[in-house]
């Protein structure tokens, strides 16, 4: 880990000096205010956390370390992991090192397979993934070192080891869960010669030798792994993970915790819900619904008190660039695919319908409206597995954020809450003042 540690060490010194100066010079400056509605409304738009790995302007979407997602889509997950961690793309030697570090840590402890295999047959794959990660907590280098005693300045070093160990193992664990859950337990072992994305595809075991679709699927999975990896710090999985990690529990606890948040239908599970919703639609109308049938189906969902999965966003006010990345891929490689076509037809219909509902702030699609149709096209049809793929990618951003939070020696997260009675008092006293 020599080159990565060296690069990080030099960056961390600069970041720490920078933040120290910011504190000294502008520590008292107000950067955000909180209204009563925001306090009750999930803290939307309240600026109160720092995240330097990526940002999500509401009119642009994901920008990783200053680079818009669109410009990252030809890159490998290893390159983007390095970018998230350090703020730079790796040079040739650094890329070799990061790939080798991930390759040599791939092996999965046998107790993980025993635990996964002994879980109830109908366990959700996200439950299996979260359990597998937290089961490995005893391997944490951070926790071991903390117990022995370590300076705060050095917390990031064993955390970096944990980050690499987790990211290296997640593809094999995820693919193993797929094989146990849907393919009768026949696990395909990791290959230490093969890169991150390609080995993940190999271990899923969807393709036979020489299958022409493998190359395309590999390309799509790389887009998948980069598109979902990070989305600033306030999304539920990152926020939950950071909150847990701020207690000095290690990355195994915090990544597992973040995944538990990702497993909710308003967050990562929306990709599963969207696939289910699309397939029900296709079944109902025998494959090719008309525009009016799509509109009726949308209103039937809303009138039943459900959300349209894959549409809307807490931050974005445009079509998610992650959706656009997949849209372009589908248009290039399988424009005639019936499920993909339905996704495209719905894109033409849904925003106009959602605009009619005043309370909805963003009528445009997010990534989850389309990602499932990519997987389905290549034969990965078990949609309850889809959020696990989101998690494999998100592990890259969550661990990078975890390392940086430790490097910056960030404190325990502990916002202040108030009771409704106190809110009433606060409002009354501010009325008197004005
Ligand atoms: N379908 C129906 N109603 C919606 C939708 C939608 N797609 N989006 C928002 N609304 C409703 C929302 O439920 C809320 O209703 P109420 O006040 O009765 O609770 C109202 O519109 C206002 O919501 P917004 O302020 O526009 O959105 P908010 O920031 O609260 O929530 C989401 C954001 C993403 C949770 C919401 O848009 C949603 O539930 N979308 C569908 C689920 C989804 O696609 N989630 C994935 C998000 C991305 N990810 O990968 O994590
Ligand atoms: C994400 O990728 O985390 C989702 O789009 C949710 C969010 O950013 O709030």
For residues 264 and 39, give the distance between their C-alpha atoms in angstroms, rounded to a whole number. 22
SS3 of residue 403 by DSSP: helix
Ligand 2 atom 2: the closest Cα is on which residue? 231
Q: What is the pLDDT of residue 78?
A: 98
| 93 catalytically annotated | no
228, 267, 320, 377: the catalytic one is: 267
Q: What is the pLDDT of residue 431?
A: 75
239 Cβ contact partners less than 8 Å away, ≥ 6 residues apart? 49, 233, 261
Atom of ligand 2 nearest to the CA of 235: 9
236 alpha carbon, closest ligand: 2
Ligand 2 atom 3: the closest Cα is on which residue? 235
Give me ligand 2 centre to Cα 60, in Å: 14
Q: What is the pLDDT of residue 185?
A: 73
| Largest interatomic CA distance in the chain | 76
Atom of ligand 1 nearest to the CA of 367: 50
- pLDDT, tens digit (0-9, with 9 covering 90-100), for 104-127: 999 999 999 999 999 999 999 999
The rounded mean pLDDT for the chain is: 97
| Ligand 1 near 311 CB (within 6 A) | yes
Q: What is the pLDDT of residue 429?
A: 87
Q: What is the pLDDT of residue 32?
A: 97
Please report, rounded to a whole number, the percentage of residues in the chain having pLDDT higher than 70: 100
Q: What are phi and psi of 75, to 5 degrees?
A: -85, 165
Q: What is the mean pLDDT of residues 373-398?
A: 98
| 23 catalytically annotated | no
Please choose, from the candidates 146, 147, 165, 164, the residue with its C-alpha nearest in 3D space to the C-alpha of residue 155: 146
Please choose, from the candidates 292, 326, 296, 287, the residue with its C-alpha nearest in 3D space to the C-alpha of residue 310: 326
Please choose, from the candidates 373, 280, 297, the residue with its C-alpha nearest in 3D space to the C-alpha of residue 335: 373
Q: What is the mean pLDDT of residues 215-235?
A: 98
- pLDDT, tens digit (0-9, with 9 covering 90-100), for 257-310: 999 999 999 999 999 999 999 999 999 998 889 999 999 999 999 999 999 999
| 377 catalytically annotated | no
What is the distance of C-alpha 54 from the center of its chain? 12
The end-to-end CA distance of the chain, in Å, is 59
- pLDDT band with cut points at 50, 70 and 90 for residue 433: confident
Give me ligand 2 centre to Cα 354, in Å: 20
- pLDDT, tens digit (0-9, with 9 covering 90-100), for 154-200: 999 999 999 999 999 999 999 999 999 999 878 999 999 999 999 99
**Is the confidence at residue 81, as pLDDT, over 90?**
yes
The angle that helices 196-204 and 77-86 make with each other, rounded to 10 degrees, is 130
- pLDDT band with cut points at 50, 70 and 90 for residue 233: very high
Q: What is the pLDDT of residue 362?
A: 98
Give me ligand 2 centre to Cα 115, in Å: 30
Please say whether the beta carbons of 322 and 61 come within 8 A.
yes
Atom of ligand 2 nearest to the CA of 228: 2
Please say whether the beta carbons of 220 and 374 come within 8 A.
yes
150 Cβ contact partners less than 8 Å away, ≥ 6 residues apart? 158
Q: What is the mean pLDDT of residues 22-35?
A: 97
Q: What is the pLDDT of residue 184?
A: 85
- pLDDT band with cut points at 50, 70 and 90 for residue 140: very high
Q: What is the mean pLDDT of residues 313-318?
A: 98
Give me ligand 2 centre to Cα 346, in Å: 21
Q: What is the pLDDT of residue 281?
A: 96
Q: What is the pLDDT of residue 258?
A: 98
| Ligand 1 near 374 CB (within 6 A) | no
For residues 378 and 212, give the distance between their C-alpha atoms in angstroms, rounded to a whole number. 11
301 alpha carbon, closest ligand: 1
For residues 127 and 119, give the distance between their C-alpha atoms in angstroms, rounded to a whole number. 9
| Ligand 1 near 432 CB (within 6 A) | no
| Ligand 1 near 371 CB (within 6 A) | no
Answer positive or negative: Cα dihedral of 424, 430, 433, 434: negative
Q: Which residues pair with 365 in a beta bridge?
A: 311
Please choose, from the candidates 240, 275, 231, 232, the residue with its C-alpha nearest in 3D space to the C-alpha of residue 259: 240
391 Cβ contact partners less than 8 Å away, ≥ 6 residues apart? 126, 129, 170, 174, 259, 262, 268
Residue 297: C-alpha distances to residues 288, 300, 346, 388 (Å):
13, 5, 10, 28
**Is the confidence at residue 210, as pLDDT, over 90?**
no
Mutate to test the pocket of ligand 2, among 267, 321, 371, 387 (most ligand atoms within 8 A of CB): 267
**Cα-Cα-Cα-Cα dihedral of 275, 277, 279, 285, to 10°?**
-150
Q: What is the pLDDT of residue 64?
A: 98
Q: What is the mean pLDDT of residues 11-30?
A: 98
């Amino acid at each position: 880990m020599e080159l990565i540690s060296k690069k990080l060490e030099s960056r961390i010194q600069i970041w720490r000096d920078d933040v120290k100066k910011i504190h000294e010079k502008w520590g008292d400056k107000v950067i955000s205010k909180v209204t009563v509605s925001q306090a009750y409304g999930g803290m939307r738009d309240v600026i109160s956390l720092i995240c330097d790995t990526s940002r999500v302007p509401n009119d642009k979407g994901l920008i990783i370390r200053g680079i818009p997602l669109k410009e990252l889509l030809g890159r490998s997950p290893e390159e983007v992991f390095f970018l998230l961690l350090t703020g730079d793309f790796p040079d040739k030697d650094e890329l070799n090192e990061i790939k080798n570090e991930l390759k040599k840590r791939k092996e999965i402890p046998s107790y993980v397979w025993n635990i996964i295999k002994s879980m109830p047959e109908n366990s959700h794959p996200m439950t299996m993934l979260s359990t597998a990660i937290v089961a490995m907590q005893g391997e944490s280098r951070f926790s071991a070192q903390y117990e022995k005693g370590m300076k705060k300045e050095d917390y990031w070093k064993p955390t970096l080891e944990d980050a690499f160990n987790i990211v290296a193992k997640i593809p094999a664990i995820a693919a193993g869960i797929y094989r146990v859950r849907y393919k009768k337990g026949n696990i395909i072992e990791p290959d230490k010669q093969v890169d991150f994305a390609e080995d993940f595809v190999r271990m899923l075991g969807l393709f036979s030798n020489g299958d022409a679709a493998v190359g395309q699927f590999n390309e799509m999975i790389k887009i998948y792994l980069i598109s979902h990896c990070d989305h600033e710090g306030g999304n539920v999985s990152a926020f939950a993970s950071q909150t847990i990690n701020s207690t000095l529990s290690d990355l195994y606890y915090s990544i597992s915790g973040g995944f538990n948040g990702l497993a909710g239908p308003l967050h990562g599970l929306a990709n599963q819900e969207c696939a289910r919703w699309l397939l029900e639609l296709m079944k109902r109308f025998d494959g090719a619904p008309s525009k009016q049938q799509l509109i009726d189906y949308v209103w039937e969902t809303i009138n039943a008190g459900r959300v349209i999965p894959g549409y809307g966003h807490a931050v974005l006010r445009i079509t998610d660039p992650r959706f656009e990345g997949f849209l372009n891929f589908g248009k290039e490689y399988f424009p005639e695919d019936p499920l993909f076509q339905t996704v495209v037809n719905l894109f033409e219909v849904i925003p106009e319908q959602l605009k009619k509902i005043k309370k909805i702030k963003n009528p445009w699609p997010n990534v989850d409206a389309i990602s499932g149709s990519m997987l389905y096209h290549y034969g990965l049809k078990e949609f309850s597995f889809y959020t696990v793929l989101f998690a494999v990618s998100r592990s890259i951003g969550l661990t990078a954020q975890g390392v940086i939070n430790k490097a910056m020696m960030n404190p325990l997260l502990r916002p202040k809450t108030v009771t409704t009675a106190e809110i009433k008092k606060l409002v009354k006293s501010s009325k008197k003042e004005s």
